[in-house]
Structure 1
Protein backbone atom coordinates (compact mmCIF):
# COMPACT_ATOMS: atom_id res chain seq x y z
CA UNK A 1 0.00 0.00 0.00
CA UNK A 2 2.86 2.38 0.77
CA UNK A 3 4.29 1.87 -2.73
CA UNK A 4 0.89 2.44 -4.32
CA UNK A 5 0.40 5.63 -2.31
CA UNK A 6 3.84 6.88 -3.33
CA UNK A 7 3.14 6.06 -6.98
CA UNK A 8 0.01 8.22 -6.86
CA UNK A 9 1.65 10.88 -4.69
CA UNK A 10 -0.78 10.53 -1.80
CA UNK A 11 0.08 10.13 1.88
CA UNK A 12 0.28 6.66 3.36
CA UNK A 13 -0.84 6.30 6.98
CA UNK A 14 0.32 3.08 8.62
CA UNK A 15 -2.57 2.52 11.02
CA UNK A 16 -1.21 -0.95 11.78
CA UNK A 17 1.96 0.24 13.55
CA UNK A 18 2.19 -1.39 16.95
CA UNK A 19 -0.38 -4.11 16.33
CA UNK A 20 1.95 -6.97 15.39
CA UNK A 21 4.66 -9.02 17.07
CA UNK A 22 8.13 -9.84 15.72
CA UNK A 23 6.60 -12.48 13.45
CA UNK A 24 4.08 -10.10 11.93
CA UNK A 25 1.15 -11.69 13.76
CA UNK A 26 -1.47 -9.71 15.62
CA UNK A 27 -0.29 -9.42 19.23
CA UNK A 28 -2.15 -11.93 21.43
CA UNK A 29 -3.15 -9.20 23.91
CA UNK A 30 -5.03 -7.40 21.12
CA UNK A 31 -7.14 -10.29 19.83
CA UNK A 32 -9.45 -13.00 21.06
CA UNK A 33 -9.01 -15.34 18.10
CA UNK A 34 -5.85 -14.27 16.29
CA UNK A 35 -7.72 -12.39 13.58
CA UNK A 36 -10.22 -9.99 15.12
CA UNK A 37 -9.11 -7.13 17.35
CA UNK A 38 -10.23 -6.29 20.83
CA UNK A 39 -10.98 -2.65 21.74
CA UNK A 40 -7.34 -2.15 22.77
CA UNK A 41 -6.28 -2.82 19.18
CA UNK A 42 -8.70 -0.26 17.83
CA UNK A 43 -7.30 2.19 20.38
CA UNK A 44 -3.86 1.77 18.79
CA UNK A 45 -5.33 2.34 15.34
CA UNK A 46 -7.02 5.51 16.60
CA UNK A 47 -3.76 6.77 18.10
CA UNK A 48 -2.03 6.15 14.76
CA UNK A 49 -4.69 8.25 13.02
CA UNK A 50 -4.87 11.10 15.53
CA UNK A 51 -2.04 13.21 14.07
CA UNK A 52 -3.92 13.26 10.77
CA UNK A 53 -7.34 14.02 12.29
CA UNK A 54 -6.41 17.06 14.33
CA UNK A 55 -7.24 20.36 12.71
Structure 2
Protein backbone atom coordinates (compact mmCIF):
# COMPACT_ATOMS: atom_id res chain seq x y z
CA UNK A 1 0.00 0.00 0.00
CA UNK A 2 1.28 3.45 -0.87
CA UNK A 3 2.28 5.78 1.93
CA UNK A 4 0.36 8.62 0.22
CA UNK A 5 -2.99 6.80 0.44
CA UNK A 6 -5.04 8.35 3.24
CA UNK A 7 -7.63 5.55 3.46
CA UNK A 8 -10.25 8.19 4.25
CA UNK A 9 -12.54 9.60 1.58
CA UNK A 10 -13.95 12.37 3.79
CA UNK A 11 -11.63 14.91 2.17
CA UNK A 12 -13.12 14.24 -1.30
CA UNK A 13 -15.99 16.35 -2.68
CA UNK A 14 -19.47 14.86 -2.51
CA UNK A 15 -22.98 15.42 -3.90
CA UNK A 16 -26.49 14.14 -3.27
CA UNK A 17 -28.23 11.96 -5.86
CA UNK A 18 -31.31 13.79 -7.21
CA UNK A 19 -33.40 10.59 -7.20
CA UNK A 20 -32.56 8.60 -4.05
CA UNK A 21 -30.93 11.43 -2.04
CA UNK A 22 -27.89 9.30 -1.13
CA UNK A 23 -24.54 10.99 -0.82
CA UNK A 24 -22.09 10.29 -3.66
CA UNK A 25 -18.38 10.74 -3.15
CA UNK A 26 -16.15 11.93 -6.00
CA UNK A 27 -14.71 9.17 -8.19
CA UNK A 28 -11.71 9.41 -10.46
CA UNK A 29 -13.87 8.26 -13.40
CA UNK A 30 -16.09 11.33 -12.81
CA UNK A 31 -13.18 13.79 -12.70
CA UNK A 32 -13.76 15.30 -16.16
CA UNK A 33 -17.51 15.87 -15.74
CA UNK A 34 -18.08 16.09 -11.95
CA UNK A 35 -20.30 19.19 -12.35
CA UNK A 36 -22.68 17.26 -14.63
CA UNK A 37 -23.07 14.18 -12.39
CA UNK A 38 -26.63 13.96 -10.98
CA UNK A 39 -27.24 10.27 -10.30
CA UNK A 40 -25.43 7.72 -8.13
CA UNK A 41 -26.18 4.77 -10.42
CA UNK A 42 -27.71 3.62 -13.68
CA UNK A 43 -30.79 2.50 -11.71
CA UNK A 44 -31.36 6.05 -10.44
CA UNK A 45 -30.75 7.47 -13.91
CA UNK A 46 -33.51 5.20 -15.28
CA UNK A 47 -35.92 6.22 -12.48
CA UNK A 48 -35.34 9.93 -13.08
CA UNK A 49 -38.23 11.88 -14.61
CA UNK A 50 -37.71 12.45 -18.31
CA UNK A 51 -37.53 15.97 -19.74
CA UNK A 52 -40.28 16.50 -22.30
CA UNK A 53 -38.51 19.43 -24.00
| TM above 0.5 | no
Tell me which interval the TM-score lies in, with the shorter structure as reference length: under 0.3
Q: Which has the higher helix share?
A: 1
Bigger-Rg structure (1/2): 2
Q: Which has the higher strand share?
A: 2
- TM-score for the superposition, normalised by structure 2: 0.21
